[in-house]
């Protein structure tokens, strides 16, 4: 009976040590994961500001008034679902064609609300609401157009490019 008690005590000690080691390993792994999450969060926040700046660069290209300059912000195989046209535009030549017409209205965009999702180091989505201030080229009348948007970006050759852009007029509340 004494031998059984010693084995049982020894087994309990071994199990207690194993449990303590497992708990320590789990704690260490958790701290490492939390630190990695913090690092990803910092990189994500930095990337979010970088992605937000892409809208500003696109908007500056609009104000520049050159369709080719705006189209350069898009990948060669990008798809545009534009606000002011029923046609899907794919590729830079079709995208430049759309902007040739749209830029006649001297658009100036402003973000109303933006939700940026950084997917990884080379892809992100910026979706939200923006407002265009437009000028009729014939009459000079100013109008405002509120729209929903989504930009999908990919970093290609070290440069962020729009690969998919959807824009549609904001529907009335209902």
Number of helices (H), then strands (E), belonging to the chain: the values are: 3, 6
Q: What does the alpha-carbon distance between residue 104 and residue 67 come to, in Å, rounded to a whole number?
A: 10
pLDDT at 173: 80
Task: Indicate the burial class of 154 (C-beta count within 10 angstroms; 0-12, 13-18, 19 or more).
Answer: middle
Residue ranges per structural domain of the chain: 2-169
Beta bridge partner(s), residue 149: 128, 167
Q: What does the alpha-carbon distance between residue 125 and residue 147 come to, in Å, rounded to a whole number?
A: 17
Q: Taking the chain (174 residues) in consecutive chunks of 10 residues, what is each chunk's mean pLDDT?
A: 48 42 43 44 66 96 96 98 94 97 94 95 96 95 96 96 96 79
Q: What does the alpha-carbon distance between residue 126 and residue 165 come to, in Å, rounded to a whole number?
A: 10
Nearest-10 Cα torsion for 75, 76, 80, 82: 100
**2-169 sits in which CATH class?**
alpha beta
pLDDT at 70: 97
Give 129's contacts (C-beta < 8 A, 6+ positions apart). Answer: 111, 112, 113, 146, 147, 148, 149, 170
pLDDT at 148: 97
Beta bridge partner(s), residue 123: 120, 154
Half-sphere exposure of 62 (CA within 13 A, CB side): 19
């Amino acid at each position: 009976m004494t031998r059984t008690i010693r084995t049982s005590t020894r087994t309990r000690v071994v199990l207690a040590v194993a449990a303590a080691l497992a708990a320590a390993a789990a704690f260490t792994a958790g701290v490492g994961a939390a630190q990695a999450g913090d690092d990803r969060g910092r990189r994500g926040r930095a990337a979010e500001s970088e992605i937000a700046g892409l809208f500003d660069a696109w908007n500056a290209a609009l104000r520049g008034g050159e369709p080719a300059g705006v189209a350069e912000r898009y990948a060669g195989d990008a798809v545009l679902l534009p606000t002011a046209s029923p046609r899907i535009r794919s590729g830079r030549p079709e995208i430049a064609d759309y902007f040739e017409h749209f830029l006649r209205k001297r658009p100036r965009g402003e973000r109303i609300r933006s939700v940026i999702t950084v997917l990884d180091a080379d892809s992100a989505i910026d979706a939200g609401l923006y407002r265009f201030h437009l000028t009729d080229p014939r009459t000079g009348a100013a109008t405002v157009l509120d729209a929903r948007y989504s930009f999908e970006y990919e970093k290609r050759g070290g440069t962020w490019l729009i690969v998919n852009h959807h824009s549609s007029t904001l529907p009335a509340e209902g």
